Structure 1
Amino acid sequence: MSIIKMYMIKMLGYMIVALPFYIIGRVIFLKKKKKRVEPIRELILALFVLYIIGLASQTIIPRWNAGILGETGEFYFDIYLFNEIAHVNLIPFHTISQYFFTTNANVDNWSGLSLINIAGNIFVFSPIGVFVPILWSRLRSLGKIFLLGLGVTCFIEFVQLFIGRSTDIDDVLLNTIGVVIGYGIYSLLKIPYYKVAFR
C-alpha cells in the first residue's frame, strides 16, 4: 500500500501546483467567451482536469530531479530519458501471467506487489470512464468510452517509449478495462449528467 500512497502523493503535488493556473485560465476563458457559469459543472471539470494532470505526471512526463548542490550552492535540474530497467512487451498477457505464476526472490511480498500493480493499472484509469460521459454528451456510449480509453492508453504507452519508461501491451489492456469499469460505475450510479454536461 505504500507504493500506492507514494504515487498518490506525487500526483497530488502536480495537481496542487496546477490548480491556481487552471482557475486563472478558466476564469479568463469564461469571461472571454461570456459563458454562463454552472458551479457543479465547473467543479467536475476542474476535478477531471486536475486528475488528468496527475495522471500525466506519472505516465508521460519524464522523470526529473532538481535541487541545490550543497558544496557550490548551484541549482541543478536533471531530466531522465533513459532507464536501464525499462522494457517493451508486445505479447498480450505476458506480464500479467508473470505476476500470477512466477516468483521473484529479490522482491519481498511479490504476490502482494503484483496484485497492487494490476489493481493500480486498472483503477487509476477508471475516473476517465466516470468523468467523460458526465461532461460530454457525445461520449455517453460504451463503445465511444472504450475507444477513448484504448486511444488514451495507447498514446501513453507510445510516449513512454521515448522517456525512459516501460511500454507494455498488458498496461493497455488493464488501463482500458479500468476505463470501462469507470463507465460501469457511472451507469450504475445513474448520475444526473443532464445538469452538468456540456451540450
Structure 2
Amino acid sequence: MSLVKMYIIDMLGYMIVALPFYIIGRMIYLKTKKKQVKPFHELTLALFVLYIFGLASQTLIPRWDIGIMGDTGKFYFDVYLFNNAANVNLIPFHTISQYFFTTNANVDNWGGVTLVNIAGNMFMFSPIGIFVPILWGRFQSLPKILLLGLGVTCFIEFVQLFIGRSTDIDDVILNSIGVVIGYGVYALLKIPYYKVAFR
C-alpha cells in the first residue's frame, strides 16, 4: 500500500499544480468563444484534464530530482533521460508471467510490486473508458474507445523509449484492459441514467 500511496501523492502534486492553469485557460477559452457553460460538462472535463496531467506525470514526464546538497549548499536540478534499469519487452505476457510466477530476492515486498504493476497499469487507464464517452459522444461505442485507448498507450510506450523509462507490450495489454474496464463502468452508470431520464 505504501507504493500505491507514493504514486497517488506524486500524481496529486502534478494535478494540483495544473489546476489553476487549467481554470484560467478554460475561462479565457469560454469567454473568447462565447460558449455556453454547462456545469456538469465543465466539471467532468476538468477532472479528465487533471487526470491526464496525473497520467503524464507517471508515464511521459522524465524522472527528475531537485534540492540543495547538504554538504555544499549547492542547488541542483537533475533530469534523468537515461536509465540502466530501463528495458524493452516485445513478448506478450512475458512481464506479466514474471510477476506472477517468479520472485525477486532484492525486493522485500514482491507481492506489493506485482499488485502495483498489474492492477496499477489497468486502473490507471480506466478513467479514459469512463470520461471520454461522457465528454464526446462519438466515442460511446466500445470499439472506438478501445481503439483510442490502444492509441494512447502505444504512443506512451513509444515516447518512453526516449526518456529513460521501460517500454513493454504487456503495459499496452494491461492498459487496454483498463480502458475496457472503465468503459464497463461507464456503461453500467449510463443504464440507470437513461431509465431516469426517459421513463
TM-score by length of 1: 0.93
Match for residue 68 of structure 1?
A: 68
1:136 is aligned to: 136
Q: Per-residue deviation at 1:157?
A: 0.5
- Contact (CA 8 Å) 2:62, 2:163: kept in 1 or not? yes
- The answer to whether the 8 A contact 2:3-2:112 is kept is no
Q: Per-residue displacement from partner, 1:99-154 (whole Å, max 9, x unpaired)? A: 11112122223234213320111001100000000000111110000000100000
| 1:149 counterpart residue number | 149
C-alpha contact 1:134 1:191 (8 A) present in aligned 2? no
Rounded Cα–Cα distance in structure 1 between residues aligned with 2:191 and 2:73: 54
Contact 1:63-1:81 at 8 Å conserved across structures = yes
CA distance in 2, matches of 1:84, 1:2: 25
Moved more, 105-114 or 144-153: 105-114
- Alignment pair present for 1:113 and 2:118: no
- Residue 197 of structure 2: aligned partner: none
CA RMSD of aligned residues (A): 1.6
Letter in 2 for 1:41: H
Determine the structure 2 residue equivalent to 1:183.
183
Offset of 1:189 from its aligned partner?
A: 1.3
- Look up the match of 1:11: 11
Q: Unaligned stretches of 5+ in structure 1?
A: 195-199
* SS of equivalent residue, structure 1 residue 190: helix
TM (norm. structure 2) is 0.93
Q: Which residue of 2 aligns with 1:96?
A: 96
Note the 1:157-172 alignment, pairs <5 A: 157-172=157-172
What code does the residue aligned with 1:123 have? Answer: F
**Matching residue's letter, 2:39:** P
- What is the deviation of 1:70? 4.3
Q: How does 1:54-65 map to 2 (within 5 A)?
A: 54-65=54-65
Residue number in structure 2 paired with 1:82: 82
2:125 is aligned to: 125
User: Using the alignment, how far apart are the partners of 1:79 and 1:191 within structure 2?
Assistant: 47
SS in 1 for 2:59: coil
d(CA) in 2 for partners of 1:31, 1:97:
52
In structure 2, the CA distance between the partners of 1:193 and 1:117, relative to structure 1 (3 Å rule), is same
Sequence identity, in percent? Answer: 80
Q: Which moved more, 1:110-119 or 1:78-87?
A: 110-119
Separation of aligned partners in 1, 2:108 and 2:80: 27
CA contact (8 A) 2:125 2:175 kept: yes
Structure 1's 109 and 63: CA in aligned 2 closer, same or farther, altered over 3 A?
Answer: closer
SS at match of 1:20: helix
What is the CA distance between 1:193 and its match in structure 2?
Answer: 8.2
